[in-house]
Amino acid sequence: MLDIMKYFTLKEMKKSLVISIWFMILTFPIMVIKVNTIENTVVWRWASLLGMGIGSFIMATLWRYLLERKNMKSPLSTKKTLQMRVVEWANENPKVKPIALIAVSIFVLSFPFFSGLYQTSIMTTALMYVVLGLGLNIVVGLGGLLHLGYAAFYAVGAYTYALLNYHFGLSFWICLPIGAGLATIMGILLAIPVLRLRGDYLAIVTLGFGEVIRIVLENWNQFSFGPSGIAQIPRPGFFGMSMNLQTATTYIYFIMIAMVIFTIFVVRRLENSRIGRTWVAMREDEIASESMGIDITKSKITTFALGAFWAGMVGVVFAAKTTFINPASFTLWESVMILCVVVIGGMGSIVGVVVGAMILILMPEYLRAFSEYRMLIFGAMLVIMMVFRPGGIISNIRKKYKFEPAQAAKNADKEGVR
Amino acid sequence: MKRLFAVLLIVLLAGSLAFAGGDQEGGSIKIAVAGPHSGDLASYGLPTVKAAEILVEKVNAAGGLLGLQVELVIEDDVCKPEVATNTAAKLVGEKVVAVIGHICSGATKAAMGIYNDSGILAISPSATNPGLTQSGDYPNFFRTIAPDDAQAALEVAFALDTLGLSKFAVLHDKGDYGKGLADFAKLYLEEDSRAEVVLFEGVTPGAVDYTAVINKINNSGAEAVIFGGYHPEASKLISQMKKRAMDIPFISDDGVKDNTFIKVAGEYAEGVYASGPMDTATNAITILATKEHQEKYGEEPGAFYLNAYAAVLALFNAIEVSGATDYESLTNALRTSYVETTLGKIKFDAKGDAEGVGFSMYQVQNGEYIELK
Amino acid sequence: MLKIEGIQTFYGNIQALHDVSIEINEGEIITLIGANGAGKSTTLMSISGVEQARHGKIIFEGQDITHMDPDKIVQLGIIQVPEGRRIFPFLTVAENLDMGAFLRNNKEEIKRDIDYVYSLFPLLKERRSQAGGTLSGGEQQMLAISRALMAKPKLLLLDEPSLGLAPIIVQQIMNIIKKINTEQKTTIFLVEQNANLALKLADRGYVMETGKVTLNDTAKNLRENDAVKKAYLGI
Amino acid sequence: MAPILETKNLTMQFGGLTAVDNINFNVNSGEIVALIGPNGAGKTTFFNCVTGVYTPSSGDVLISTDGKAQQRINGLKPNKVTEKGLARTFQNIRLFQNMTVLENVMIGRHTKLKSGLFGAIFHPKSTLEEEEKVIQDSYDILVEVGLEKFVNELAKNLPYGAQRRLEIARAMATEPALLLLDEPAAGMNPHETKELDEMILKIRNTNDISILLIEHDMSLVMSISEKIFVVDYGKLIAKGTPDEIKNNPEVIKAYLGDVSDA
Amino acid sequence: MDLQYFFELFVGGLTKGSIYALIALGYTMVYGIIKLINFAHGEIYMIGAFTALIIASALSFTGMNPVLIFLISTILAIIFSASYGVTMEKIAYKPLRGSQRLSGLISAIGMSMFLQNYVLLAQTSDFLPFPNLIPEFKFLEPVKSLISPSGFIILVTTAIVMILLTYLIKFTKTGKAMRATSQDPKMSQLLGINISKVITMTFIIGSSTAALGGVLISTHIGQLNFYIGFITGIKAFVAAVLGGIGSIPGAVLGSFVLAWTESFGTGYISSDYEDVFAFLFLIIILIFRPSGILGRPENKKV
């Protein structure tokens, strides 16, 4: 429908040229002149100017093409998105589902056995972010409360296990519920002061809360061992069996698989329950929700508490997986990354969060091939994804209810009933 | 159900993607360099990469080790424990012989367990946490830097015995290196009846202004400042102190004994004391290493470059001496065989700390660190 | 003066206007009536260039303005008073009026026009240093019209000026609109839901349904049209 | 019997501004009552005081539902007021835009349901039955207001008139004793207004709900209300039957103007 | 308590507050217009400082007068930073207008990461000394222990910038257009205001003050690297929210209040918890004034 060739006309080329000249000037001091004020040397790198010019020329053309394509897409809403087509296709072929399910199960179950330590390890990390993302999704996606201090709850879980194990020798399985429980309590404690806040004000307060927790962990040596952290945290046990690195990693992988399934199960049920509906209503309109008899205070507290629950749980696994924790793991960037998982995947959507976690956690790992450029590329990818897919990768679809024709027949308009 | 299906499908796709990155086999010796190569701490990790690159290039040009080429595997851990475990798992998969790194003590601790289980040794140029060697939990760990407690002891002794001061403000940058050091300094000062710690505080790294802390030092009546941390904070502190006409001795550590500090703090650096490895300035290898860096990268080497250079040299030596690349022979060689490095002639003790690295105090005089004998 | 030829405008993926054609002559009061969501406001926004038409043409005084930027269109003399009045709540009344004259530079003329609108609405003069948000609905509507007048419109687009106002205020507003039309010779394009009111005031009218113009005639004829009577006049 | 809603000397001040000034007001069981007045006269503020969005500065809001004794509800939170049997709609539609039409009504049923966290996660029989019932009940309400064909549509995609009706349906779902409608006919054409007129009457007649509405559309107000209160500048300036109001000179001066022309 | 000590802390807070204010202004202006937390604003500040460093060093070889070098590099830093700000808006924010707010936030986060690493790769990861271009002058004794010369210059510059900005916003046409756009962009369009131009203008002004801040602060602390923008940016953002985001006097007041909290917290309690005091104070203020000190109360119209 839209031809890229159109961008090779003289007029369009001129536009691209102007843009590339702009970029050449813009990046001139930083790209071309390299100074070293320690040595007092200046190096002029003219080659990078040329590179910049060519690169930005191509990018400018491509960018305009893609942007226009994105803008043109809208009127033809009849054209199905890939997501819709996959869902439809799956619906039309009922046999596909069980087969795919079995295939996926086999793959998931056998993954650690053919992929090696590293793959298993990063996949476990990705799975941890799936759970974290789903937890934060309750607060941000469903409850509509922008939360930038989520890593604090994660830290609560991790420190719970590390400290209880260090002082009392409590095992992973005992600490798992305790960590989750303590995080939940922290969630409630945070929720109470911020009840009146909204939007960006809420964001900054939660950000502050996260930082406060981290700074306390950093400075309160007697309690948390400060920045040097806690080492030698045992990996989870399995009826006292001793495990080598390989089996232990595999074992944690399976714990995470189980946890992901458990989380999806619970979050799905919550989402479509009376409680879940109040969260979404609260997100949509607080005043209207109150007028419908919803207790906003209670609703906010439950979202924070339930969101924190998952973070606490994953925190315990985190401590067990890395065997070492210190406050450096729970910075603002951590909270931001989890938020990115939710937004990039598609807010409010479970599948979206899963996809988002996979992309965001695995992408930097696979970008390792680009070594020092990987964070540059990652930053650029975030921008590009948001520009071309601002709603996230997977859009959330509200649950549809089916009504028997007999009921619908009361008013005899079957058209609208889907 | 529909969604679950989609979820699983995605896992499948992601997994197969993950699988695509396989590893290749070759007739080479793989050595890893791990540390922060991006993010805020990159400046402490990248010099190590450069040291390794220079030495590997040199050794390969000369025919390699044991007749094999040396291959570098460089992995970023952003100084985060959780990333370090993944990095470590990847290096295990890559079948590296040894790791030069990690840089931060926290990340090192997280990774060491994995290396230990897989029979890989690591030599860190910068992880100073005493527990790494003293706890005995990490038999595969070596380092070419003095642990916090040793440096702190030296600084305290210097301040008390040589300078004869008694009231101290102990500051740190809240990081695992700086705070660990400051904690020990405080401990040793308190053990000594001559000394009094009038102030013990952490400064916020990256903050733009330390006026309040400086006011506080001023108000506390401290006769000297002992600072644990790196040079950026140190130079901010010292220059703001001097600009405010506060001229009391400033004693710091290895993280500050860096030429960058003098360049950054300029005239304000004059008179600052710092502890650091002995005889680096006159050491021929050190001069060579600095020159090589200048030639290859056109700039002065960064933090821990010399330590990293020493670590790589020690490793190469161990490989050549033992004639093997297995864990047993290498650790054995590291512990028994002396090698000439940028830090002097060293070998490692049973716990993994470098022996033969003499530590002494330096002072900035006329824009240079001068060793105080 | 203004000629709209078969424009089609989209809101994201929804087509809001299908082949809408309207003609306005100088000095006329033209009204566009129709139910909520019929596309009346979209038509105005397309003229003002805020929601640009994807197909079709809008010609103003012989100039194609279909794809012009909104500020250029304002410069040509097409000013809109949008639905809901949209007073800047934290600017004072006087500053709101200043904003109306944003594109003008002749200080004297501006001064004269301010005096003129204060004469139309003496109440605004009293409240000139009060924040716009503190005015009542009726006062806000007056301010909105005044603000538009400050731009010296040749063609004034009014979107639902009666919405949410007490009957007595609605009447005042309608009288003022008529006055502006006769005194200032300003052409007026009035979008209204209150068809009764609009057709009393207008010379000609267009009827819009689901994004299409279905009828167009003199106001008088429209008022007597049975379909219009039934659907819009509530008779 | 006590009136279903009564206010005594109700006053609401914002800073120096008195938006509601000493209003005495009542709605008896089964009545349709209208509250009219110029823009900015304090009608919506009055609504907000009654429904708990604002806490009145002074005076009493008293309600008596199901023949129970009067109770004072000043300062109760909106959700508590709703639980006591008052439901409302909003001047500028406040639907849950990204939820389906059915879900909007289901939210309205919130206070009538019990299941909590445990129920949501473990799906005991009671929860499943409750969910099934709420879906059916909500659907029935949609049928009642003629919106069943939109059942799975997102609220934001509904035509304007349908959105207004959905708001009423949602309020109805709370099973109120008194329904407060804030300009329900705003933005509707005469045809839609007429349908609304019928709907309101039907709601009152079949469900025995009292109705209080704010409205500018005089044809609607005059045709369905039994009692009209007129406010101006926060003060009550008149009350009476539609005929009385139409001929009240003060009301004409302040509000109606020449009615025949509007 | 010791009055001299109190006064020292007070003045220390004043300097620090001025630093925050220069950056917070840009945050608050951009937020006011496009309701976006521009996470990458700190990076603009960093790029401003870096550009000044690069140009100053390059010029220093020509043997030019240091004051002239300082002026040229500052002006160029401002021009380049403003260009970066504008380009960033066109690439990362403009296509997102009308999408959900969170998308813009993520885009800004991505931009921040990108710019950090761009400078890291194109220049260096090390700390570089910032040439001291401001002619040194020494205060006499009572002042000397209160404030450093560079601190004083920052204080004065902030005051001048504040006055200019207030004038610009209150009385000029551009300023009025900015205020109108922040209140109702669509209506502003209908009155002939070119919104894109207003947004561009906002980014230019915001980025310029950030660049000016970058140059002055780097002179003050004498060093910089690619990461300096992040922490300072967060602090400035906190200051902007504290004062009431979107409000220009609010940003300045918030900056001072934040800096004093930190200064007195450090002075009388401990700098270990410097940031904790800052954040706790923020939380307490927001509990009692949910829109910040000078913020407009959220319109709870029903």
Residues A343 and A233 in one domain: yes
What pLDDT shows up at residue B148?
87
Residues D160 and D223 in one domain: no
Q: Is the pLDDT of residue B17 over 50?
A: no
Mutate to test the interface with C, among D14, D36, D39, D237 (most CBs of C within 10 A): D39
Determine contact: C105 vs chain D, CB below 8 A: no
How many residues are present in chain A?
418
Distance from CA of E182 to the nearest CA of C (A): 9
What residues of E are in contact with residue D44 (Cβ under 8 Å)? 302
H-assigned helices in A169-295: 172-191, 199-219, 221-224, 245-271, 274-284, 286-291
Residues A132 and A66 in one domain: no
Taking an 8 Å cut-off on Cβ atoms, the answer to whether B18 and A123 are in contact is: yes
Q: Identify whether the C-beta of residue B113 lies closer than 8 Å to the C-beta of residue B327.
A: no
Provide the number of structural domains found in chain A: 2
In a domain, E1, yes or no: no
In a domain, E255, yes or no: no
For A33-44, what is the mean pLDDT? Answer: 77
Angle (CA) A154-A157-A160 rounded to 5° is: 145
pLDDT digits (tens, 9 = 90+) for E14-51: 888 998 999 999 889 988 888 888 889 999 999 999 99
List the structure tokens of E110.
């991505």
Give the mean pLDDT of chain B.
85
The pTM of this model reads 0.87
CB count within 10 Å of CB B83 equals: 25
In this complex, which chains have at least 3 CB pairs below 8 Å with chain B?
Answer: A, E
CATH code at position A237: 1.10.3470
Mention every residue, 6+ apart, whose C-beta is less than 8 A from residue D150.
Answer: A416, D101, D142, D158, D162, D166
Backbone angles phi, psi at A417, to 5 degrees: -85, 115
pLDDT digits (tens, 9 = 90+) for B299-340: 778 888 888 999 999 999 999 988 888 888 899 999 998 988
If you ran DSSP here, which 8-state letter would residue B174 be given? S
**Cα dist. D239→B361, D40, D244, D247 in Å?**
94, 19, 8, 12
Taking an 8 Å cut-off on Cβ atoms, the answer to whether A205 and E83 are in contact is: no
Determine contact: C10 vs chain A, CB below 8 A: yes
Mention every residue, 6+ apart, whose C-beta is less than 8 A from residue E11.
Answer: B211, E146, E147
What pLDDT shows up at residue B156?
92
In a domain, A78, yes or no: no
Kindly indicate the confidence band of residue C12, based on its pLDDT and cuts at 50, 70 and 90.
low
For A307-324, what is the mean pLDDT? Answer: 93
Residue that is last in its domain, among D175, D196, D215: D175
Residues A58 and A131 in one domain: no
Residues D79 and D182 in one domain: yes
Q: Is the pLDDT of residue E285 over 60?
A: yes
What pLDDT shows up at residue B118?
87
What pLDDT shows up at residue B20?
42
Least reliable range by pLDDT among A4-18, B56-70, E207-221, E228-242: A4-18
Taking an 8 Å cut-off on Cβ atoms, the answer to whether D111 and A417 are in contact is: no
Taking an 8 Å cut-off on Cβ atoms, the answer to whether A369 and B84 are in contact is: no
Percentages of chain E per state (helix, strand, coil), in multiples of 5: 75, 0, 20
Residue that is last in its domain, among D147, D175, D203: D175
- Residues B50 and B298: their CA atoms lie apart, in Å, by 12
Q: Identify whether the C-beta of residue C86 lies closer than 8 Å to the C-beta of residue C45.
A: no
- Identity of residue B273: Y
> Looking at the partner chain, which of A211, A344, A347 has a beta carbon nearest the beta carbon of E275?
A211
Nearest residue to E80 (alpha-carbon basis) of E114, E119, E36: E119
For B273-296, what is the mean pLDDT? Answer: 85
What pLDDT shows up at residue C143?
92
What pLDDT shows up at residue D259?
46
What residues of E are in contact with residue C98 (Cβ under 8 Å)? 176
Nearest chain A residue (CA) to B84: A322
Spell out a b/e string for B227-236, using b for 16 or more CB atoms within 10 Å of the CB, else e.
bbbbbbbbbb
Nearest chain D residue (CA) to E302: D90
Complete edge-to-edge strand list for the sheet that includes strand C78-81: C78-81, C155-159, C187-192, C29-34, C204-209, C212-218
Determine contact: C23 vs chain E, CB below 8 A: no
| Structural domains of chain B sorted by starting position, each given as residue range(s) with its CATH number in brackets | 2-145+281-357 (3.40.50.2300), 148-253 (3.40.50.2300)
Residues A22 and A141 in one domain: no
Residues D8 and D74 in one domain: yes
What pLDDT shows up at residue E66?
82
> Looking at the partner chain, which of B204, B213, B245 has a beta carbon nearest the beta carbon of E145?
B245
Determine contact: A338 vs chain E, CB below 8 A: no
Residues A138 and A64 in one domain: no
A-proximal residues of B, 61-100, CB under 8 Å: 74-76, 79-82, 84-86, 89-90, 92-93
pLDDT digits (tens, 9 = 90+) for D208-234: 889 999 887 888 888 889 999 988 888
E-proximal residues of A, 214-253, CB under 8 Å: 215-216, 219
Q: Is E297 left (phi over 0), alpha (psi -120 to 50) or beta?
A: beta
Taking an 8 Å cut-off on Cβ atoms, the answer to whether B204 and E270 are in contact is: no
Full domain range(s) for residue E53: 13-225
Q: Identify whether the C-beta of residue A101 lies closer than 8 Å to the C-beta of residue B76.
A: no
In a domain, E112, yes or no: yes
List the structure tokens of D94.
């406040």
- Please list the residues that pair with D88 across neighbouring strands: D180
Nearest chain A residue (CA) to B266: A38
Mutate to test the interface with B, among A329, A367, A374 (most CBs of B within 10 A): A329
Least reliable range by pLDDT among C9-18, C182-191, E193-202: C9-18
E-proximal residues of C, 131-190, CB under 8 Å: 147, 151
For E62-82, what is the mean pLDDT? Answer: 89
Determine contact: C54 vs chain A, CB below 8 A: yes
What pLDDT shows up at residue B186?
92
> Looking at the partner chain, which of D39, D189, D190 has a beta carbon nearest the beta carbon of C165?
D39
Residues D196 and D80 in one domain: yes
What is the CA E89 to chain-centroid distance, rounded?
Answer: 17
In a domain, E37, yes or no: yes
Nearest chain A residue (CA) to C16: A75
Nearest residue to B87 (alpha-carbon basis) of B107, B117, B116: B107
Whether residue D123 is preceded by a cis peptide bond, meaning omega within 30 degrees of 0, is: no
Do chain B and chain D touch with ≥3 beta carbon pairs under 8 Å?
no
Residues D133 and D181 in one domain: no
What pLDDT shows up at residue D261?
43
Residues A25 and A159 in one domain: no
Residues D255 and D182 in one domain: yes
- Residues A305 and A188: their CA atoms lie apart, in Å, by 5
In a domain, E144, yes or no: yes
Residue that is last in its domain, among A17, A38, A72: A72
Q: Percent of chain E beyond pLDDT 70?
A: 93
**Cα dist. B244→B265, C227, E156 in Å?**
14, 87, 18
> Looking at the partner chain, which of A101, A219, A228 has a beta carbon nearest the beta carbon of B180?
A228
Residue that is last in its domain, among D158, D175, D192: D175
Taking an 8 Å cut-off on Cβ atoms, the answer to whether D116 and A275 are in contact is: yes
Determine contact: B299 vs chain E, CB below 8 A: yes
Taking an 8 Å cut-off on Cβ atoms, the answer to whether B39 and A362 are in contact is: no
Spell out a b/e string for E42-78, using b for 16 or more CB atoms within 10 Å of the CB, else e.
bbbbbbbbbbbbbbbbbbbeeeeeeeebbeebbebbb
What pLDDT shows up at residue A72?
66
What pLDDT shows up at residue C73?
92
Mutate to test the interface with A, among B9, B11, B73 (most CBs of A within 10 A): B11
What pLDDT shows up at residue B7?
52
A-E CB pairs within 8 A amount to 183
In this complex, which chains have at least 3 CB pairs below 8 Å with chain D?
Answer: A, C, E
Of the spans A149-153, A284-288, D80-84, which averages the highest pLDDT?
A149-153
Spell out a b/e string for A69-94, using b for 16 or more CB atoms within 10 Å of the CB, else e.
eeeeeebeeeeeeebeeebeebeeee
In a domain, E63, yes or no: yes
What pLDDT shows up at residue B26?
52
Determine contact: E140 vs chain C, CB below 8 A: no
For C82-86, what is the mean pLDDT? Answer: 85
Full domain range(s) for residue D145: 94-175
Bigger pLDDT: B11 or B202? B202
B-proximal residues of A, 55-94, CB under 8 Å: 86-87, 90-91
In this complex, which chains have at least 3 CB pairs below 8 Å with chain A?
Answer: B, C, D, E
CATH code at position D50: 3.40.50.300
- Residues C159 and C82: their CA atoms lie apart, in Å, by 5
A-D CB pairs within 8 A amount to 137
For A106-125, what is the mean pLDDT? Answer: 87
What pLDDT shows up at residue E299?
53
Bigger pLDDT: D262 or B212? B212
Chain A positions contacting chain C at CB under 8 Å are 74-77
- Please list the residues that pair with B31 across neighbouring strands: B72, B98
Provide the number of structural domains found in chain D: 2
Full domain range(s) for residue A42: 4-72
What residues of E are in contact with residue A224 (Cβ under 8 Å)? none
What pLDDT shows up at residue A133?
94
Kindly indicate the confidence band of residue A234, based on its pLDDT and cuts at 50, 70 and 90.
confident
List the structure tokens of B111.
């990774």
Q: Is the pLDDT of residue D141 over 70?
A: yes
What residues of C are in contact with residue D161 (Cβ under 8 Å)? 35-36
What residues of E are in contact with residue A375 (Cβ under 8 Å)? 113, 116-117
**Cα dist. E151→A273, B240, C48, E129 in Å?**
58, 10, 51, 18
pLDDT digits (tens, 9 = 90+) for B33-70: 999 887 778 888 888 999 999 999 999 998 888 888 99
For C118-129, what is the mean pLDDT? Answer: 89
Residues D29 and D52 in one domain: yes
**Cα dist. C43→B344, C9, C85 in Å?**
83, 8, 17
Determine contact: B1 vs chain E, CB below 8 A: no
If you ran DSSP here, which 8-state letter would residue A237 be given? P
Distance from CA of E254 to the nearest CA of A (A): 14
Distance from CA of D149 to the nearest CA of C (A): 19
What residues of E are in contact with residue C71 (Cβ under 8 Å)? 189, 192-194
- Residues A267 and A273: their CA atoms lie apart, in Å, by 10
Provide the number of structural domains found in chain E: 1
Give the mean pLDDT of chain E.
86
Taking an 8 Å cut-off on Cβ atoms, the answer to whether A26 and E84 are in contact is: yes
> Looking at the partner chain, which of B201, B203, B236 has a beta carbon nearest the beta carbon of E221?
B236
Distance from CA of A363 to the nearest CA of B (A): 10
pLDDT digits (tens, 9 = 90+) for A258-269: 999 999 999 988
Distance from CA of D67 to the nearest CA of E (A): 30
Residues D147 and D77 in one domain: no
Q: How far apart are the first and last CA of chain B?
A: 76
